[in-house]
Amino acid sequence: MNKWVTEGLHGDLRTSYGIKKVLFDNQTEHQNLVIYENEIYGRIMALDGVTQVTERDEFIYHEMLAHVPILAHGAVQRVLIIGGGDGGMLEEVLKHKSVEKVTMVEIDRTVIDLSKEHLPMICGNAFEDPRLDLVITDGCQFVENTSEKYDVIIVDSTDPIGPGEVLFTNNFYTRCKACLRKGGVLVTQNGVPFHQASELKSTLRYFRPIFAEATCYMASVPTYVGGAMAFGWGTDQQGLKDISLDVLEARFRRAQIDTGYYTPEVHRAAFALPGYVQRLVA
């Protein structure tokens, strides 16, 4: 008989995954980290009991948080990733030849070490890329203290619990905005609004006064239960979310990136929001 791990992120709702094999289960300096194998999703990493990434569906999340802002911007050289310890986001960002430098700020070195060891399908050789500047510290402290500027900032964080809580604050978003180059884009992991409505609402409440264009876009990631998840979108390039299909197709062709979920059509459609989400971001 299978052993089961049960996740309870959303109040009275529980999601259970069968465990074929546990690869790691221990407390890091910052959180509880478990990596195990599941028949359907392959290797899964959970932090403090919440699924972070799975081999099977990680491409959806990582492609949509990386390629949407980078291709919309069109001339990205410098990228800041906050969080993202599994390396999947880094791998997608590095696929863009225009990117000269990626600073990745992760609070928990153990997540990186264990991902390199047990999740090579997700991070590939990304941590060995010479364009990477890896900083082990709290993302909020980093943006408070750095004088560097970026074309795209990607917040690939845990949910607003434990170490991730500071990455959902007004202070953090305001500092991120100050770290953007002219025309830069900030994108954020904002959970599944069907279950985590207040999280998206609060992020957009902070985005609206500081960005000319503040909204979210969506994608369905099977392991994040409850329908499509939302990614916060903030930029001073008004109208960037409505970039034309022709422009996106040309940039995508030029980038020569092989994707499993991202297409220019999906990119544009991701900004079409259902009524219940429109009300949260208004």
Closest distance of CB 222 from ligand SAM, Å: 13
Please say if 246 is a catalytic residue. Answer: no
In the region spanning residues 136 to 175, those forming contacts with ligand SAM, defined by CB under 6 A, are 138-140, 156-158, 163-164, 166-167
The one catalytic residue among 156, 242, 246, 258: 156
Pick the closer one to ligand SAM by CB: 151 or 199.
199
Size of the site for ligand SAM (CB under 6 A): 25
Q: What are phi and psi of 265, to 5 degrees?
A: -65, -45
Judged by CB under 6 A, which of 48, 57, 63, 86 binds ligand SAM? 86
Is 157 marked as binding a ligand?
A: yes
DSSP code of residue 31? S
The one segment of 14-22, 83-91, 126-134, 258-266 that binds ligand SAM by CB under 6 A: 83-91
Q: Rounded distance, CA 20 to CA 3, Å?
A: 8
* Residue 92 within binding range of ligand SAM, rule CB under 6 A: no
* Residue 259 within binding range of ligand SAM, rule CB under 6 A: no
Is 133 marked as binding a ligand?
A: no
- Angstrom CA distances, 159 to 23, 156, 184, stand at 23, 10, 24
Judged by CB under 6 A, which of 52, 54, 203, 259 binds ligand SAM? 52
Helix, strand, coil tally for the chain in percent (to 5): 35, 30, 30
Pick the closer one to ligand SAM by CB: 51 or 235.
51
Q: How many CB atoms lie within 10 A of CB 63?
A: 23
User: Which one, of 106, 89, 9, lies nearest residue 53 by Cα?
Assistant: 89
Q: Rounded distance, CA 121 to CA 142, Å?
A: 29
Closest distance of CB 53 from ligand SAM, Å: 5
Pick the closer one to ligand SAM by CB: 89 or 243.
89
- Residue 188, classified by CB atoms within 10 Å of its CB into exposed (0-12), middle (13-18) or buried (19+), is buried
Judged by CB under 6 A, which of 189, 190, 196, 215 binds ligand SAM? 189
Pick the closer one to ligand SAM by CB: 67 or 251.
67
Q: Which pairs with CB-CB distance under 8 Å and at least 24 residues apart come from 7-12?
A: 7/46, 7/49, 7/50, 7/51, 8/49, 9/49, 9/50, 9/159, 9/195, 10/195, 10/196, 10/225, 10/226
If you search the block for the tokens 């239960």, which residue do you land on?
A: 225
| Binding residues vs ligand SAM (CB under 6 A) | 47, 52-53, 61, 82-86, 105-108, 111, 138-140, 156-158, 163-164, 166-167, 189
> Which residues line the annotated binding site?
31, 62, 86, 106, 138-139, 156-159, 163
Annotated catalytic residues are: 156
